Chain A
């Protein structure tokens, strides 16, 4: 059974300049121990879709007009704040992109690491300190007991991200949401962090939602992929299927336009135009303007789901392979 199920989730921002439909009816599910990659460009709604139901965005301006997010069958959207607090940070943890802004500069690493343990697990301070120290060791920070007493600025970016991971893992969550966890890091450090995530997942059997714009990172880590664009899900399926037998024009274009280390190209095929303005209402498919396969119908209505096989779904009026 799915541990997390998102059904037709919408997240809109009500601003002075109109309603921005950042997430516009998305659905997918996550199974225990599985890694789900969410890929998309900036403004596709990949982060907002997660932050919205966890109530980590100010409301107003955020409104969730529609949808369901089921955690073990229980709708998160209908929960009391108190009930959500008992899950968020305990069963569902999160790592953010920029470890400098997500750690509190005024508190030592130790006090930030022990907080979730004392709140969610009811540990005493010495117990929590011991657990936290173990967590730091696990993520590969040398001299863990000394590291507990330092402040975030004394660490490098990679080290800070390790601290973030340690913090997210102390409570042994069932779901880890990693929002661009390596985007701010150098490639050699990125490789270390991704390897660490893989190992820890194996040990704890936790499910990961990995949000990234980097198709290479997705290819290495994800089991399933959801491709998002302008607040919509365009395609979802197992990672191999999406990279090899993608059915959606956007997924295919995105894959083609990514420069690859293992290829020598004369010219990179491009997607013309740019990402649409979300404050405008798009009746049809938001990719219409940039799509090479567009038809008249694409302008008028957003396509219904087309199931290629039980695990692979595409949202497009055109069947490229026909």
Chain B
């Protein structure tokens, strides 16, 4: 029997309307941040979402929580259609999926103590009970490695790493099934980054959480994810189990991305051959015709300019690539 996915996303689109210029009044144009993405997430699985800035990875994360309502598509959590929910049923469903943000300096309210920060989600969902609530707050703090004395302190009294631990505690307090972590360690120093990464991995294993881990750092994603999806201009161009993606990436963009990440070893690094991409990310308001990557692709053919490839199975059903030049 195949296990049923916890999260099912189908044809998700997030379009932001763009103010049209004076000349083409009436004609609406859109910034297509997420342009038709489908995937499934199993219980206890960590899906890494990588790509460069502007590829839509954060918009996708926000759309999953309905922090930004998707324009189109389907999101099912545990078989329940999450996007059609309204009012009370929506509020009841929200605790299942929680988010950790990039910058713990901005995501914690400076005027709320740690206790108030952790208590608010419980109260908002009618789960606050003086005895049990205090206990669960204390136990969650212990899990993330923050001492009990911290309860009455304010965010500014903590370092960046500790603040991120508090933000993790806040995401966990409602006992979610899915965590969306958007660049959770990007603003931290190397020595602190490793602490928070290890913590996230431990918690994920212990609680059997499903996680979507969004990051631009391929080395960090490699450490935590089971499966990785590479995004380019609002679309997934390749998705594969971690081992396959790093050892033999198929899509030319994945290959270039991996070859561009510097390795902290002078002997390896100075001898390495890079696949250099020309130019930069095209505007998502007016993406190129055909395959969106053809403007920078080292192996682009004439047909890539005209038709856009679909995400198709490569070798197995868990490995998908969207490129005409990759034959299964």
Question: What residues of B have a CB within 8 angstroms of the CB of A108 in the complex?
Answer: none
A261-B263 in contact (CB<8A): yes
Question: What residues of B have a CB within 8 angstroms of the CB of A219 in the complex?
Answer: 262-266, 268-270
B216: interface (CB < 8 Å) = yes
Of A268, A272, A275, the most chain B CB neighbours within 10 A belong to: A268
A115: interface (CB < 8 Å) = no
Q: Which chain B residues in 197-223 approach chain A with CB under 8 Å?
A: 197-198, 201, 216-220, 222-223
Which of the 9-residue segments A45-53, A56-64, A172-180, A209-217 touches chain B? A209-217
B52: interface (CB < 8 Å) = yes
A218-B52 in contact (CB<8A): no
Which of the 9-residue segments B88-96, B100-108, B167-175, B186-194 touches chain A? B186-194
Question: What residues of B have a CB within 8 angstroms of the CB of A194 in the complex?
Answer: 262
Question: What residues of B have a CB within 8 angstroms of the CB of A257 in the complex?
Answer: 190-191, 193-194
Pick from B162, B217, B270, B281: contact of A220, CB below 8 A. B270
Of all chain B residues, which has the CB nearest A256?
A: B194
A187: min CB distance to chain B, Å: 4
- Docked Cα-Cα span, A214 to B263, in Å, equals 10
B222-A188 in contact (CB<8A): no
Question: What residues of A have a CB within 8 angstroms of the CB of B194 in the complex?
Answer: 257-259, 268-271
Which of the 9-residue segments B30-38, B70-78, B176-184, B272-280 touches chain A? B272-280
- Docked Cα-Cα span, A143 to B257, in Å, equals 27
B155: interface (CB < 8 Å) = no
B234: interface (CB < 8 Å) = no
- Docked Cα-Cα span, A269 to B216, in Å, equals 22
B53-A186 in contact (CB<8A): yes
- Docked Cα-Cα span, A244 to B265, in Å, equals 8
B274-A191 in contact (CB<8A): yes
- Docked Cα-Cα span, A189 to B53, in Å, equals 11
A267-B262 in contact (CB<8A): no
- Docked Cα-Cα span, A158 to B276, in Å, equals 14
Q: Which chain A residues in 99-141 approach chain B with CB under 8 Å?
A: none
Of all chain B residues, which has the CB nearest A218?
A: B264
B217: min CB distance to chain A, Å: 8
Pick from A159, A192, A240, A267: contact of B276, CB below 8 A. A192
B20: interface (CB < 8 Å) = no
Question: What residues of A have a CB within 8 angstroms of the CB of B281 in the complex?
Answer: 156, 186
A240-B266 in contact (CB<8A): yes
Q: Which chain A residues in 185-201 approach chain B with CB under 8 Å?
A: 186-192, 194-195
B16: interface (CB < 8 Å) = no
B197-A268 in contact (CB<8A): yes
* CB < 8 Å A-B pair total: 131
- Docked Cα-Cα span, A264 to B245, in Å, equals 13
Pick from B190, B222, B243: contact of A254, CB below 8 A. B190
Question: What residues of B have a CB within 8 angstroms of the CB of A186 in the complex?
Answer: 52-53, 216, 281
A54: interface (CB < 8 Å) = no
Question: What residues of B have a CB within 8 angstroms of the CB of A156 in the complex?
Answer: 280-281
- Docked Cα-Cα span, A171 to B189, in Å, equals 35
With A187-B52, A253-B191 known as contacts, the answer to whether A262 contacts B277 (CB < 8 A) is no
A216-B269 in contact (CB<8A): yes
B280-A159 in contact (CB<8A): yes
B312: min CB distance to chain A, Å: 24
A191-B276 in contact (CB<8A): yes
* Interface of chain B: mostly helix, strand, loop or mixed: helix
Of all chain A residues, which has the CB nearest B242?
A: A264
A285: min CB distance to chain B, Å: 16
B222-A220 in contact (CB<8A): no
Question: What residues of A have a CB within 8 angstroms of the CB of B269 in the complex?
Answer: 216, 219-220
B280-A213 in contact (CB<8A): no
B323: min CB distance to chain A, Å: 17
- Docked Cα-Cα span, A261 to B265, in Å, equals 11
B4: interface (CB < 8 Å) = no
B156: min CB distance to chain A, Å: 14
B218-A270 in contact (CB<8A): no
A274: interface (CB < 8 Å) = yes
A216-B53 in contact (CB<8A): no
B256-A239 in contact (CB<8A): no
A213-B219 in contact (CB<8A): no
B266-A262 in contact (CB<8A): no
Question: What residues of A have a CB within 8 angstroms of the CB of B280 in the complex?
Answer: 156, 158-159, 189
B260: interface (CB < 8 Å) = yes
Of all chain B residues, which has the CB nearest A268?
A: B194
Question: What residues of A have a CB within 8 angstroms of the CB of B193 in the complex?
Answer: 257, 259
B264-A260 in contact (CB<8A): yes
Of all chain B residues, which has the CB nearest A238?
A: B266
Question: What residues of A have a CB within 8 angstroms of the CB of B223 in the complex?
Answer: 259, 265, 268
A278: min CB distance to chain B, Å: 13
A41: interface (CB < 8 Å) = yes
A188-B277 in contact (CB<8A): yes
B246: interface (CB < 8 Å) = yes
A84: interface (CB < 8 Å) = no
A188-B256 in contact (CB<8A): yes
A213-B189 in contact (CB<8A): yes
A243: interface (CB < 8 Å) = yes
Of all chain A residues, which has the CB nearest B272?
A: A220
Name A residues whose Cβ lies closer than 8 Å to a Cβ of B: 41-42, 156, 158-159, 186-192, 194-195, 213-220, 222, 239-240, 243-244, 253-255, 257-262, 264-265, 267-272, 274-275, 290
Q: List 7 A-B contacts (CB under 8 A).
A: A188-B52, A188-B260, A191-B277, A214-B262, A215-B264, A220-B272, A255-B264
In the A-B complex, list the 6 residue pairs whose CB atoms are closest, starting with the nearest.
Answer: A216-B262, A215-B264, A186-B52, A41-B189, A257-B194, A271-B191
- Given A186-B281, A188-B256, A261-B258, 9 more pairs with CB closer than 8 A: A186-B53, A186-B216, A194-B262, A254-B191, A259-B194, A261-B246, A267-B201, A269-B194, A274-B162
